[in-house]
Structures are given as C-alpha cells and as structure tokens.
Structure 1
C-alpha cells in the first residue's frame, strides 16, 4: 500500500509506504486528505484512517531545479518505446552525436532506437547518413517524472497530480 504525500501548498512531493504515511499522521506532521475505505488502524492513542493521500502540516522547501536523472529506462519511457528514426518498437538507446565524438549522456542527445537503426547508424551522426529525427529530444517534464512512484497511480491521487501538471 502506497500513499501520496502533498506539500502544505498541495503540490505532490513523493509517494511513501503506508507505514511511513501513518507515522507522519500519528506524529501530527501530516493530515489525511483522502483515505482508503478499509478498516481503520487502531493504536494506543486512538483510531486512524488508512491514508491514500496526506498533506504535510508545514511547508517543505523543494529545490526548484529538480532534475530528472538520465537513464536508459527513462529515455525509452519518454519516447514511448518508439525508435527516434523509423518509429518502430525500440529496445535500445542511441547517442545522436556519438560518444566517441564528444556526445554526452543527456536528454537532448539520447533517443530510443530499434536494433536495426542502431546498427545501421553506427558511429555516425544522423546528418551524415541522411536521416532525420522524428522528434526533438527534450528533458521530460511533469509530476510523473519529478515525483517518484507516480508511474503507477492510485485513482484517488489523480485530482492532486492534475493540479501540479
């Protein structure tokens, strides 16, 4: 069971375990905004609803430049597992400017790529072989990228994630 944590300004911060969320509520650091319609949790100090969404009682400063780390899985997810050159199913990633020529591991220099295109392109740039990218690679944006754990959402989270989008 997982719980969405909202900052005091209602922006999504993280997804935590049910136990962690309950500890925040019991220590009065958060309040339950949405609960699961199960049996309540009983403790020595009283009864608590099972939290689906909690709101922190104090505002937590979040670094404004929350950068999404570049990963193979992230590039494939951003490009919807479609090749940046031919749009077929992609299972690898490709450096637009090859690493041997100074290409970086960045969102702007990586695209999802099928094995065929990756092998044909080799150590060349798309321009050298007359290819064009089907899209312009950019860093991903949105709460599904900056708030860890929101890729598998609970329907009760949707109104709060939509506010941040």
Structure 2
C-alpha cells in the first residue's frame, strides 16, 4: 500500500502514513492535499485523486522526539542499502567494534553489511583484517531523517523535505549507493 507524507500546518514534516489514513484526513476536512500521486480511488459516488503529500489544517504541537531511533530501516537508509566494507548490496547489520568485545549498539558503531563481509568479519576488529570502512558511521540528524528513515521515499516529497536537511540526507544516501 502506498504511503503519504504528512506535514504540519507550518509545513514541518510530521511523518509518513498509509494512503488510507491520509485519505480519511482529507475526506474529514482535517488536511489538504498538496500533491497527488496520479492514481485515483473510486467509490460508488465519487472519484478522488490519491494524495502523495497532505498538510494538516490545524497546527499540531509535537513534543521533543530526541535523536533519530536506530532501526534496521533507518540504518539501511543511512548507508544507502550498500555494504560499508565492499559496496555490495547490504543484507545484514554489523557492529564495527563487535559487541562481544565491548562495542555498543549505537549509530557510530553499526553499519549495513553484505552477508559475505559480515560472515568474514565475524567478531574481529577491522584492523585485524586490514579492512577499512567506506564512510565513517555517524548518527543522522534533522527532521528529514525521520521521514527517510522509514524506508519510504517519493520524489514528490523532496520539495517539502529540503528545508529540513533532505538534500544532505539524500546526497549522502545516493553518494554511498553510487
């Protein structure tokens, strides 16, 4: 099912919701459709364009959310879906400093890896293997990462995410995946 970007009344990105939820917001007059996806939804009496971006009519106060949570989807988005050791397609998560040797499960120590590299590295340090990381892992920052980290991306969302660091985030993702 397609997903829709939800913006606050101030155009601040709030999150990504399923198409059905976004359509309910628009039909209940709680949100305005800013971008359409090009698809149409049909009922017995109406034809409605499926939204891609909606903006709430009323401002919603959002409490401080803290840093971007470390999830598998967010990690793969940060690393562009590529192995940080060889550049192949990443299928697993690896700790740069193995947890068995005191490494923590934090953004600075976790990278995406292909199955082959993850198996070869096992619980060893990079210097023991003579390997180097393609890029130094770091925690993502900015509101755009909360959206990009969901794993859902739509080119129509970019103009609404650019003021919140989307260019840096997408350039980093595209630079790593290239």
TM-score under structure 2 normalisation? 0.67
Q: 1:53 to 1:90 in 2, by over 3 A?
A: closer
SS in 1 for 2:108: coil
Which whole-Å CA distance do the structure 1 matches of 2:34 and 2:6 have between them?
10
Deviation digits for residues 41-77 of structure 1 (CA, Å, limit 9, x no counterpart)? 8899x99765443221222222444433323444333
Q: CA RMSD in A?
A: 3.5
Higher helix fraction (1 or 2): 2
Extract unaligned runs of 5+ from structure 1. Answer: none
Higher radius of gyration, 1 or 2: 1
Residue 83 (structure 2) pairs with residue 83 (structure 1):
yes
Q: Look up the match of 1:17.
A: 18
User: Contact between 1:34 and 1:54, CA under 8 Å: does it hold in 2?
Assistant: yes
Deviation at residue 107 of structure 1 after TM alignment: 1.5
Extract unaligned runs of 5+ from structure 2. Answer: 166-178
Q: Look up the match of 2:168.
A: none
Q: Look up the match of 2:61.
A: 61
Deviation at residue 109 of structure 1 after TM alignment: 0.8
Deviation at residue 118 of structure 1 after TM alignment: 2.9
Which whole-Å CA distance do the structure 1 matches of 2:132 and 2:138 have between them?
16
User: Contact between 1:96 and 1:126, CA under 8 Å: does it hold in 2?
Assistant: yes
TM-score under structure 1 normalisation? 0.71
Q: Look up the match of 2:8.
A: 7
Deviation at residue 101 of structure 1 after TM alignment: 1.9
Segment of structure 1 superposing worse, 96-105 or 52-61: 52-61
Which whole-Å CA distance do the structure 2 matches of 1:39 and 1:74 have between them?
30
